[in-house]
Every structure is written in structure tokens, then in C-alpha cells.
Structure 1
């Protein structure tokens, strides 16, 4: 069979996927894989759910597409209502639909910029973000991201934006420990706002728990509360990038609920549709919506598939399924078990740290545990472990560069919420074997 696909990795041979059911995926050769990362932290309710197929077909039988500039739809109205019901605050009551996370991030930034213009504060335009972060692959989102490897080829294409240090307890940029720290990483936001000029700073965007760039960095309690207070002090909008962490992934409807923090905008995607359709959304406080409604009366922005009836019907069905089966609560319980089992891997020589929240967990791989020294990036330890696990039937999400933008290796795990304890045991057993195998190789190299 001729293959004319332009693949992401041009030197990799991809097996042909055939079908999925529950937490498993099969290729055309009949080999079964545990979907230990939910694809790319997408699949939350599992593969092959009949109720989603039924909702998909029911909407397709009525209408698959109508442009959002011409019509609203029952599906979009239902989906928006279900999304806002997930939010901890009734102030987050407006939903702008997109096709994915990168689109949603850029939409949130443009929305904040237009909001400040609508209320007569034209000078507020800067958006502060963090290093060791990922907000999407479009150029605007990439500018906000803080991952050197993803950004390096494209620097001429985007504007420089201010970045601060992440809340990275294992590798504290301020040389302290969680027991001794005074949340210096949060204080850096205030210092940066002052240096950039409070009248010029429009928003701060960050992932509640960092995902792709470092593997489930969970901040110390108090971090997000302090960030929220700083944003309020300087009239800066808080954008929570919950593309990975939202819609139950961290054991709450949205991850910031763990700290009782309400952002001004929430960016969500991935688990919003559990991979059954491309889907993203920005959830916005009424204050922002009202400013536009009472001002110019329009948001100067839009995408072809925004508010698509078929996609919104599917996402609504995913949320309904999660609620009916109490999958967010299940994610919290199974996440505790996953973290408990993963901590056993700390016995391995190259496993430096294990962390996570809900079914969102990271394993950091190091050359030396005592010094936390990283492997040479050329060795590609994270890729080797992921390849070994894949060969033995486990899909993971590897990453590098988390330690300082160039060095560092980790694996991110995000299995479907329906995973059973025995399946977690299987998953961890494959991981242990994969890490042990690679450990033998890289310890000889180093």
C-alpha cells in the first residue's frame, strides 16, 4: 500500500492501528496495547463507548455541519450548558468553541486583549507565561510556551513574551525544598509584572499541573492561591490552560478546583471530547463577555469549525457519560492507586522522581539520583524507555528538556478513567521492565 502521509517523525515506522476498546488499542497485526497515556492525554472515558457512537450518529443523521456565523444549534447550547455546570464558579458561564487546544489558547489571549480595549485600557497587552510549559503548536501558542525544543526552529516567527520560572519542586529554580520554600516561584510573577509594567500586563497563563514538558509537575499548596492574589492585585487576568488537566483528568472537574482557585478564563480540549472528535473550548467569566456585549458587540475572531453541531453533540455525550458513571470521582480513586504503584519504581537506579494528581502522573529519569544529574540528550533515554514499553504493549508519552530546556527525560502517563487496579498493575509491570532494560544500556554508556 502506497503511503503518502507526511508523518511527524520521518524516520519512524508506524504500525497500522485497527481498533480500540476500553483502555486497549489493537494494531492490524492483532497486537494489543494498553493506552497508558490516553493517546496524548486525550482518551478519558475509554475507546469504543457505544453511547458516544449513538450520539454521533444521531446528530449526523440530522446535520453534521452549520457555520457558527449563520446558526446556533441545540447540540452547541446543550454542550455549553454542560461545560459551565462543570465549573466551580457560576461566573464562568460563557463558552467559546474551537477545534483543539492550540486554537483555544490563542482565542483566550485574543479575547483578553480585546476585553482590555473594550474597557478602555488599550495599553494592557502583555501575556506572561512560564518556562517548562506547553500551550500549543501554533505560533502564538508556541510563543507563550516554554519548551526550547519545540520553539527553537520558529523564533523568528513569533514575538518575545515574558516568562517566569515554573513551580518545579524536584528541581527548584530557587534552590529550596517544598518543606522550606516560601513560594518564591509565585513571587516571581509579581516581580515580573512590576518590571513589565502593571499597566501593560493583560494576563498570566499557566497549566495548573505541567504536562508535556516535564511530566505532571504538581505545585506546592498555596502556589495557586498566591498567583490568584497577585493577579487580582495588579488587575491581570488569569488564564488556566486546562487542555490536559481539565474535565476530570486530575480527579476534579478542573484541576484548579483542588486549590479553590477560580480563573478568569479556562482553556480546555483533549478530554473534553475524549478523542471522539477534535474539540476545544474557552470558558469565560461573565465580566469579559459583558464587556464585549455592551461595547463593540462582537468578538473579532472565529474558526470554520467553531460551534460545529456534530462535535458539540459528541462532547456533550462524553460529559454526560462521565457524569452518569461518576468517572471524575473514579479518576481520583484510581489516581491514588496509580501513584502508589508508580512509587515502587523509585527502587530503580534511573528513576529520580514520581509525581502526579489523579490519573495524570510523571516519572523523571536521571543519571544520578543524589545530584539529580540528567542524561545527555543525545542518548534519548525517554524515547528508549517509551520504545521498549511500546514493544511490550504499553503506550506512554515521553518527553525531554524539562530540566533546563535542553536536558532532562521523563514519561507522562494518563490512562483512561475506566482503568482497573489489575490493569494498572499490568501497566506498571511493563514500565518497570522497560526502565530496567534501558537502565542496563544507559548505565554502561554513562
Structure 2
């Protein structure tokens, strides 16, 4: 959320506390504040800082690019780092996706994806009626209006519904933690979700649907919920049946975060369009990317051969140079594999030391992308009263002196409004001792917050 402070600066402060000390510097896994605090960055911001802070190689790559050219308009000239980055991205998909468009923020990439999907059909057939999009409940795709319409993160979306596009429709997410019915196995669950998507195509008219957007592993809105086996393939089959495009939003979960370069590679189901962002430049550049397959490229060629899109800072040389160096470091140091190995260790330690907490309902994740979800009553799946503000209290406590760790708090996994969870997304450089430190600090934060919430109750003794 953005809050108006006393100075003339609108700033982002997700803990609702303008007294938080400004950042002085950052190095490795730690952020240093002006008040002397040393904060363990266990979330990489919003799953951004994939290689940690203050890496000299990336800083030098940016400086080197500044010495060559700091900016050139993408409509006039290509630039070498952008071309190099596009090649890296296409290669990382094994050539399954064949072109990359380099953009700024994740929200920009989502908007561009909506446009390219519509243009694909319009270029193939000028009388195309494909203007509808289908997305999922419990999703988050960004803050701009088109992205908000696609998403379903109600605390950020609801107040703007009167000005959102009306051609976006939603089906259920693949969320077995909240959506699996009693005595329903995963195969039946996938079949039900597949039928629901098919029914939505039929309701709208298959010839009117442009694309289906989904996060292969949902981050903020649901808390690290990965698609169950068979789900992505089932969604692919429905889209293919009706000729619609399939779009994977991997802005948060992609670029190695889940222990594999692209989350879709876990199941081998290739999208028509993919979005990447946060881990692309790991915070060293404001950058995102849109990747498309040959099908989309061929369609665009039928209408003139170019994508009707352009932004001033698209393919910015500095951001591209940073991203190229970040990706080189990730590859050279085998950090995606480390992400997988340390992610397994993090998950085991979380479950070992917090799994028996009476109010921790679920601990889930993959790679270095984990969530902890709370319930007031686990047996009945009853969440805590939203007035308690449990997840925000946990995040705020983490930033206090003596706790000194970032948690990424969120709400609404249960029904869009209710439920508390937080995310952990440390850098890919973590080692076992770092994981142990994260879990130790986390337990202290949880214990002390719950001691306040249940001040009159004895300790739960969950360890």
C-alpha cells in the first residue's frame, strides 16, 4: 500500500508504520538501517533479491554500461544488453519460447501480454471477436488497471472495481489447500477444474476468448500454492480445444525461484506467452520480460510483423546489463540447484520446528518460495478475526529491534478477505546456517506475537 507521509514523498510501506528507519545500505542477505539495525532479508523484498544485495560484479556491469550508453530509445535503436538478455531468456526455455520483449515492471508485462494476445487474433482475422480474458480467483497479476482486473487480490482491487475493464472473467484456482472437497482425490479435482474452465469458455462463447492467464505457483494471494500434477496439462488441453492462448505469469515464481528455471518446466507444459520479472535482474534493475512462442510470432507476422506496443524505458540498457550479469552469476554458481537443495532443507526445518504449532494450519512451498498459513481452529478451517491483523503483526514484529527479519505478510487465502499467511523467499545464495538462522528468528517472532494474541493462555509448546 502507498501512504502519504509528512514529506512530499509518496512511499511504499507495507507495514503501515512510517516510523520504520530508512535503509542505509545492504550487503548479502542483510539490510542495514540508519538506526543501526541489521535486518535479515528472508523475503528478498517481494521475492526479488535472488543473488543478495551489493554484488560487485553486477554493480560493475551497470557502471560499464553507463560508460557506453545510458539510454537509447527502443523505437530507434536496439542495444546490445537487450539483445543478449533476450537470447539468454529464449535459451533458458530450451527454445520452446522463441522471442522476448524486455519491459519495465511486472504490471507492464501483464498489460503487454493482454495486448499481444488480442493483437494475435486481430492480426489473424480482422473480424475476430476474441476480446475476453479468463483468469483465476485467488490470483495477483499487478497494480495497473488491466492487471488488477485479471487478478483477484481483493484488498488491492475492490475499491477500483468501478474503473476496471469488464472483459475479464474468473474461474477457481488450483488450490487444494482450500478447494479440495471431502473424499476428492487430486485426479478428480483436476478434472473438476478442467470442466469449470471448459464451462466458462462455453458460457462466454469460445470464439470470444482471447487467453487464459494463470500463475503456475501462486505467490502473494494464496501463499506459495503450486499447480498439482496434471493441472497445467488439463488447462493446456482446454485452451487448445478452443484455440485460445495460454499465458503463464511467472513474475514472482519464475527465474529459478522454485528450484527450476521456469516453474512450467516442472511438468513440461509450455505456455504460448510467459511473463518473468522479479528474479530477472534480482533488484539491480527495474525490468521484466514477455516471452512468446512461434505460434504467436507467426500470428503477428500475418498482421505486419510487429507488436503494437512501446514504452519509453522499454529494453533500458542499464536494466538489461544488470539482468545479463545476474543471470550469468546464477548460471556460473549453479544457484538454481542451490535454490532447490536449500529449499528442501528450509521446508524440512519449517515443518520440523513449526509443524506442531496449534495455529499453523499449513507449511507449503517449493524451492526458496515458502508460505506459512494460520488458522484459529485448524479442524474447522476457521481463520483468525481479521481485526487481529495477525499476519501484519508478524511482519511488523519482525522489523522491530531484537527480531530483525523481513517477513512478507498477506491475507485472504481462504476467501479473498480472510486468512493470514506470510511468505519466505530468501536469496538463492543461502546456506544451511542461513536457513537455520531464518527459522530460529521466525520461531521467536511467532512465539512472541502469539503470546500477545493469547495473553491469558499458557504457552502452546509447539516445538
Q: TM-score range by the shorter chain?
A: over 0.9
- Flag the 1:159–1:174 CA change in 2: closer, same or farther, 3 A: farther
Please report how far the alpha carbon of residue 205 of structure 1 lies from its aligned counterpart in structure 2 after TM superposition. Answer: 0.4
SS at match of 2:81: helix
Which stretch shifts more, 395-404 or 121-130? Answer: 121-130
SS at match of 2:409: strand
* Correspondence for 1:159: 165
Aligned pair 1:428/2:439, yes or no? yes
* Correspondence for 2:330: 322
Which stretch shifts more, 180-189 or 33-42? Answer: 180-189
Cα deviations by residue, 1:226-273 (Å, 9 ceiling, x for unpaired): 111111111111100000011100011100111111000000111100
Q: 1:377 aligns with which of 386, 393, 411?
A: 386
Aligned pair 1:357/2:366, yes or no? yes
Matches within 5 A, 1:266-281: 266-281=274-289
Please report how far the alpha carbon of residue 159 of structure 1 lies from its aligned counterpart in structure 2 after TM superposition. Answer: 2.0
- Flag the 1:177–1:327 CA change in 2: closer, same or farther, 3 A: farther
Q: 2:129 aligns with which of 123, 126, 133?
A: 123
Matches within 5 A, 1:204-243: 204-243=212-251
Asked whether the 8 Å contact 2:394–2:407 carries over to 1, the reply is no
Cα deviations by residue, 1:183-208 (Å, 9 ceiling, x for unpaired): 12333211211111111111000111
CA distance in 2, matches of 1:362, 1:200: 37
Please report how far the alpha carbon of residue 441 of structure 1 lies from its aligned counterpart in structure 2 after TM superposition. Answer: 2.6
- Structure 2 alignment gaps of length 5 or more: 1-5, 458-463
Cα deviations by residue, 1:306-338 (Å, 9 ceiling, x for unpaired): 011111111111111111111111111111001
Aligned pair 1:340/2:342, yes or no? no
Aligned pair 1:26/2:13, yes or no? no
* Correspondence for 2:418: 407
Matches within 5 A, 1:132-171: 132-160=138-166, 161-171=168-178
CA distance in 2, matches of 1:381, 1:197: 43
CA-based RMSD of the aligned residues comes to: 1.8
Q: 1:112 aligns with which of 107, 111, 117?
A: 117
Q: 2:202 aligns with which of 188, 194, 209?
A: 194
Cα deviations by residue, 1:146-172 (Å, 9 ceiling, x for unpaired): 111111110111123210111111111
CA distance in 2, matches of 1:408, 1:233: 36
CA distance in 2, matches of 1:130, 1:269: 20
Please report how far the alpha carbon of residue 437 of structure 1 lies from its aligned counterpart in structure 2 after TM superposition. Answer: 1.6
Please report how far the alpha carbon of residue 288 of structure 1 lies from its aligned counterpart in structure 2 after TM superposition. Answer: 1.2
Matches within 5 A, 1:238-253: 238-253=246-261
Asked whether the 8 Å contact 1:351–1:363 carries over to 2, the reply is yes
Cα deviations by residue, 1:115-157 (Å, 9 ceiling, x for unpaired): 0001116111111001111000001100000111111110111
* Correspondence for 1:68: 74
Cα deviations by residue, 1:75-106 (Å, 9 ceiling, x for unpaired): 11111101111114x24110111101000001
Asked whether the 8 Å contact 2:180–2:189 carries over to 1, the reply is no
Aligned pair 1:4/2:11, yes or no? no
Please report how far the alpha carbon of residue 219 of structure 1 lies from its aligned counterpart in structure 2 after TM superposition. Answer: 2.5
CA distance in 2, matches of 1:445, 1:265: 53
- Flag the 1:257–1:96 CA change in 2: closer, same or farther, 3 A: same
- Flag the 1:206–1:179 CA change in 2: closer, same or farther, 3 A: closer
CA distance in 1, matches of 2:270, 2:187: 27
Which stretch shifts more, 10-19 or 338-347? Answer: 10-19
Please report how far the alpha carbon of residue 297 of structure 1 lies from its aligned counterpart in structure 2 after TM superposition. Answer: 3.1
Q: How many residues align?
A: 445
Asked whether the 8 Å contact 1:169–1:177 carries over to 2, the reply is no
* Correspondence for 1:99: 104
Cα deviations by residue, 1:363-395 (Å, 9 ceiling, x for unpaired): 001101111110111111001111122221110
- Structure 1 alignment gaps of length 5 or more: none
Asked whether the 8 Å contact 1:169–1:178 carries over to 2, the reply is no
